[in-house]
Amino acid sequence: MKHKKTAVIGDPIDHSLSPKIHNHWIEREGVDSDTYQKINVKKENFDEDVGRLIEEGYSGLNVTVPLKEDAYKYCHKTSVVAGTLKAVNTLIVNEDGVYGENTDPAGFQKSIVNRNLGSKQCLVLGAGGSARAVVFALKQMRCEIGIFNRTREKVELLCDDLGVEATILTESSLNEFVGSSSLVVNTTSLGQQKNEANNLINFNNLKPSTHVYDLIYNPSKTTFLQRAEKNGCTVQNGLEMLINQAAQSFNLWHNKIPAIDKDLMLALGVK
Ligand code: ATR
């Protein structure tokens, strides 16, 4: 039998951490797999390139920005989560065709599982693809959700698509909501550039008991998290979500839940 072939596809893909994570597990968990690859696929070539990869024997693909919607359209069958989000981050190729899953919501939920946030008030900043995954997870956790985005129409669309009843916040209603939230999650790309400010909220309104989460993991502590920490808040970056969504994909392909432990953090260069 041939070794399993897996990879992540996206554009750009050079800086993806997924190969480090998966290759650590491939070695540690003793699964029968080739080295996990990263492959640049341009949006306009999606069908052609993915078709070729499948012909080459790839049976597991992670899909990242900007290809998750293309991957959704490509699948013969999808999970309920992927179907609701209309976005796929994990392709599984078998004799029945191509199956699409989205492990991002579960990755997010697992990353905050110990924080006791069920049914609490949570604020989401942004309404793009990542916000959809976060809102999906918070809905599962029965949280009371508020969403703020520069472009309000995208929040309305998100709520309609996901069947979520959330408070759609405006610049004037946002900061009162900040003050009564147990969780604030930044899903916007603000802060991705080193020292780039994210001043969407008034940090003085944050309660010290609020957990502040930024999905950005590089830089590892955005100015958004630094400001929140100054207010006494606990903070978290997006690395645990990345690792947990990867673990779910790994399990789908190799039927094994991989260890998330100190060795993995060492392999990723995280103390
Ligand atoms: P992802 O897949 O990472 O979620 P995305 O779908 O492109 O990426 O979403 C990016 C999010 O960052 C959006 O909510 C976007 O706001 P708009 O919907 O108004 O575009 C938000 N965003 C990006 N740059 C921003 C900026 N300068 N100020 C405020 N929000 C910004």
Tell me the per-residue pLDDT of 33-92, one tens digit each, with 9 for 90 and over: 999 999 999 999 999 999 999 999 999 999 999 999 999 999 999 999 999 999 999 999
Q: Which of 189, 223, 245 to mutate to test the pocket of ligand 1 (most atoms within 8 A of CB)?
A: 189
**Domain of 150: which CATH number?**
3.40.50.720
Backbone φ and ψ of 184, nearest 5°: -125, 125
Atom in ligand 1 nearest the alpha carbon of residue 65:
2
Strand arrangement, sheet containing 211-214: 167-168, 144-148, 121-125, 183-186, 211-214, 234-236
Q: Are residues 55 and 173 in the same domain?
A: no
Are both 112 and 223 inside the same structural domain?
yes
* Rg of the chain in Å (alpha carbons): 19
Please indicate, yes or no, whether residues 74 and 132 belong to a single structural domain of this protein.
no
- Nearest residue (by CA) to ligand 1, atom 29, is 150
The answer to whether the beta carbons of residues 211 and 236 sit under 8 Å apart is yes
Q: Are strands 58-63 and 90-94 parallel, antiparallel or unpaired?
A: antiparallel
Active site residues: 68
Distance separating alpha carbons of residues 251 and 110, to the nearest angstrom: 14
What residue spans of the chain are helical by DSSP H? Answer: 18-28, 46-55, 68-74, 80-85, 104-111, 129-140, 152-162, 171-179, 223-230, 239-254, 262-267
User: Ligand 1 centre and the CA of 187: distance in Å?
Assistant: 8
Distance CA 178, CA 201 (A): 7
208 and 260 assigned to the same domain: no
- Helix axis angle for 129-140 and 152-162, nearest 10°, is 50
Query: Of all atoms in ligand 1, which is nearest to the CA of residue 187?
Result: 4
210 and 123 within one domain: yes
CB 72, CB 100: distance < 8 Å: yes
Same domain, yes or no, for 57 and 123?
Answer: no
Q: Which residues line ligand 1 (CB under 6 A)?
A: 65, 126-131, 149-151, 154, 187-190
Is residue 219 located within the same domain as residue 116? yes
Q: What pLDDT does 169 receive?
A: 98
**In CATH, what number is assigned to the domain containing residue 46?**
3.40.50.10860
Confidence of residue 151 (pLDDT cuts 50, 70, 90): very high
* Pair (230, 262) in one structural domain: no
What Å distances lie between residue 28 and 33, 162, 256, 261, CA to CA? 12, 37, 11, 11
Over the stretch 208-217, which tens digit does the pLDDT of each residue have?
Answer: 999 999 999 9
pLDDT range class, residue 271, cuts 50, 70, 90: confident
Nearest one of 113, 87, 110 to 100, comparing CA atoms = 87
Q: Give every CB contact of residue 255 below 8 A, 6+ residues apart in sequence.
A: none
Which domain does 223 fall in, by range?
106-237
* CA 21–ligand 1 middle distance (angstroms): 26
> Average pLDDT for residues 165-193, to the nearest whole number?
97
- Could you tell me if 218 and 122 lie in one domain? yes
Distance CA 155, CA 169 (A): 9
Average pLDDT over residues 251-262: 97
The ligand 1 atom nearest the CA atom of 130: 4
DSSP 8-state secondary structure symbol assigned to residue 126: -
Q: Are residues 36 and 118 in the same domain?
A: no
Q: What is the mean pLDDT of the chain?
A: 96
Q: Are residues 111 and 215 in the same domain?
A: yes
Number of domains within the chain: 2
Tell me the whole-structure pTM to 2 decimals: 0.96
Cα of 44 from ligand 1 centre, angstroms: 22
Evaluate whether 126 touches 140 at the Cβ level (below 8 Å).
Answer: no
Per-residue pLDDT tens digits for 200-250: 999 999 999 999 999 999 999 999 999 999 999 999 999 999 999 999 999
Cα(104) to centroid(ligand 1), Å = 17
